[in-house]
Structure 1
Amino acid sequence: MVDHHTGSAVIRGIPHDVFDSRSLPNHARFEAWRATVLPLFESHLEHPPQEGFSARVDGFKLRRMVICVAEFSGQRYLRRRGHRADEGADPLLIQLYLSGGYVGHNGYRTVRVGPGDISLLDLGYSLETRAERSRALSFIVPREAMFSFLPPEHAQIGSVIPARSAVGRILSHHLLCVWNALHGASADEDEHITQTVLGAVAGAFAGYGTGESQVLESHLLDAICAYIERNLSAENLTPAHLCRKFACSRARLYRLFRPLGGVAAFVRQARLKRCFQELTEPRAIRPSVIEVAMRWGFTSQSHFSRLFRANFGITPSEAIEQAQAQRRARTGSARPAYSPHSTFHYWLSQL
């Protein structure tokens, strides 16, 4: 909590806190960071940086929003559908990347963000991104607060406003001004600040890149992707079957899936992710790699292993070993001296 003194008066500031992994021993830094952001998503460090992992968050807690600037080493972020860590909800995440960037997907939308771009992510949908070393200004907002300004049918998940666009430059300037003003703001200004942010974000993202025909195409793509996800073990997930099921032409189907790499690539990617999830989740009796592969449509273990390694950077066996090592590290008898649940963890879980 920050208090500003003006003469004899004391003005109560907006709650403020800083998390800096560099205050911890090297071996404890990533796990502390992982626990901090767990209410939003799982963090995975696939390739530890040679200079060592580091992350820092400087942020403010408004009544209906968390605003922070985060700097972090490259890592993978994952949020599966139904992820509600610590009973948290499914907020929206608005981010202005000041440096670095990421590529991934939100729901069934491919998202690519670079310096200066502003993204709108919906954590009610699955999320998987690979971020390089970055610095980002983030606004974490309960969905009901945002949707009171921006009806969900007018917002497209995974939308990105480019840095080079006029709207991007205007919104970027606005969000940075808000961030700078927070350091001297009083708690009495909390709700006005929230409404200022939400109004600007809603105005910028309302219908961004979505005409009526695009909305219809988006709904069809969502329906087809959801059907594929529910039927990944079926043998007939072919373009011909999907065209019959959804009464669309092959040309239209291919056009819908072009941003996702094509129909076959999307099905293969979804099956690989399901295999990764099954291989790395804790089980009393673990099925073999080939059993998991065959259950999700792969008939050759060598071919499956090559695809798995090309997609995740490790073999199926290495994925199992890494998951087991991470669980042992989190449940081992030697506990770190720090509390894994930082102030930010609490703030995020309360949204």
Structure 2
Amino acid sequence: MKMKHSRTSNAASSPFPSSPLHIQPASEDDPWAFWAHALAPLAVAALRPSPDGTDTAFLTAHHAGLFLLLHSHLPALALQRSRLRCTEDGLDHLVITCLLSGRARWRSDRLARLEPGDCGFCDLASPLALRTTGGTQALHFIIPRLALPASVAPLVPIRERRFAAGSSPALLLQGLAATLLRALAAPAPMELSAFSRPLMDLMALILGPAGKDAGTAAHADLRRRLRRHIQDNLASDGMTADSICADLRLSRSQLYRQFEGEGGVETYIRRRRLARSLQMLSDPACAERRIGEIAYEAGFADEAHFSRLFRQHYGLSPRAFRKSGSVAPALPIGSGNSQDASATFARWLRQL
């Protein structure tokens, strides 16, 4: 199976060019098997018995640091995320879909239909069944829960929402997604990661509060409670395994089990702090702030220690990163088949 992919570069001075992942089967590929592999990181996928849209189907993903922006033109599909799948893969992301053409129908807690111009908002932490017609084209934001405030993305899985075509939220979301996509396709693509934090603030205003049926933190599973607690306390250099256990009334064994797949809780905290520092160094609003100040706000007590960790993780010093004018490092693209595309897409989802 062949996978077409494209790489676009920003200014030559940037060591981290923006590299979209473009997934499209070659003429000799079996489209049924291709899309099942390519979409496996998100859900179990199967083509429905309809030839419409199979020949022109593609999926393009842009990594924006805090979120992914996708442009899809897919054949008739059935996608499913079971409760077991939600537990096993741990994806704690929200998906906003702006439908451009075709029709989509999903069922989680309730049935919802999307028509062209509608926008849908769903939670990957909840079981989901989605069906689309052939040739369905859409723009999607995939956003980690922790990138949005708790009022918009509470710790418990939230019910899907539909913004009708012509409504203010739908018009704003469609316009924002389309504008970003055009900017990324320009001859000199915009450095999207530098704007990811303000874009998330704007997204929170558009979406508004989750509503009374969202539940409370007391009902959230332990994994989400821990990650939200860590994210909210990154600036505290006194946050340790012991302090987390005390704050959330956990035993050490309970805490450590939740981060076995992350290399341990200390590794997870360090990675989140480095990610925050990277976002701040990429943010034009922080251009005049000292490196030490950014390190301290990200939770590092010592600037030299921070610089050493930053270089180990990203390959250059914070000062060199800022001087280069670059943004979040581009992530690697698959080498040429649906398995590689699926692995790259899965890595992007996990690294949000």
> What TM-score do you get using the length of structure 2 for normalisation?
0.55
* Letter in structure 1 aligned against 2:202: A
SS in 1 for 2:209: coil
Query: How far did residue 117 of structure 1 move?
Result: 0.9
Which segment is superposed worse, 76-85 or 43-52?
A: 43-52
Structure scoring higher RCO (CA < 8 A, sep ≥ 6) equals 2
Equivalent positions of 1:127-276 (< 5 A) are 127-133=128-134, 134-147=136-149, 150-152=152-154, 156-183=158-185, 184-187=188-191, 189-190=192-193, 192-207=194-209, 210=211, 215=212
Residue 56 of structure 1: aligned partner: 58
What is aligned with 1:25?
28
Distance in 1, Cα, partners of 2:201 & 2:148: 9
1:109 is the counterpart of 2:133 = no
The Cα shift of 1:118 comes to 1.0
How well do the aligned residues superpose, as a CA RMSD in angstroms?
3.2
The whole-number CA distance in structure 1 between the counterparts of 2:182 and 2:54 is 30
Distance 2:162 2:38 in 1: 26
Q: CA deviation at 1:34?
A: 1.4
Name segments (4+ residues, structure 1) moved above 6 Å: none
- Aligned mate of 1:4, from 10, 16, 28: 10
C-alpha deviation, 1:204, in angstroms: 1.8
Larger radius of gyration: 1
Find the residue that maps to 2:32 and give its secondary structure.
Answer: helix
Flag structure 2 segments of 5+ consecutive residues without an equivalent: 1-6, 220-335
Structure 1 residues not aligned, in runs of 5+: 224-336
State the Cα distance separating 1:95 from its structure 2 match: 0.9
Residues 151, 110 of structure 1: CA spacing in aligned structure 2 closer, same or farther, 3 A cutoff? same
Task: Report how many residues are paired.
Answer: 223
1:207-246 deviation per Cα after TM superposition (whole angstroms, max 9, x unaligned): 37x4xxxx25x76xxx9xxxxxxxxxxxxxxxxxxxxxxx
Q: Structure 1 CA distance, aligned partners of 2:107 and 2:32?
A: 23
Question: Could you say which residue in structure 2 is the equivalent of 1:71?
Answer: 73
Match of 1:13 among 10, 17, 25: 17
Give the % identical residues: 20
Is this contact kept in 1: 2:183–2:189, CA < 8 A?
yes
1:80 to 60, 82, 96: 82
Once the two structures are TM-superposed, the CA of residue 77 in structure 1 deviates from its matched residue by 1.0
CA distance in 2, matches of 1:201, 1:142: 13
Give the letter for the 2:131 counterpart.
Answer: R
Distance 1:344 1:25 in 2: 22
SS of match in other structure, 1:47: coil
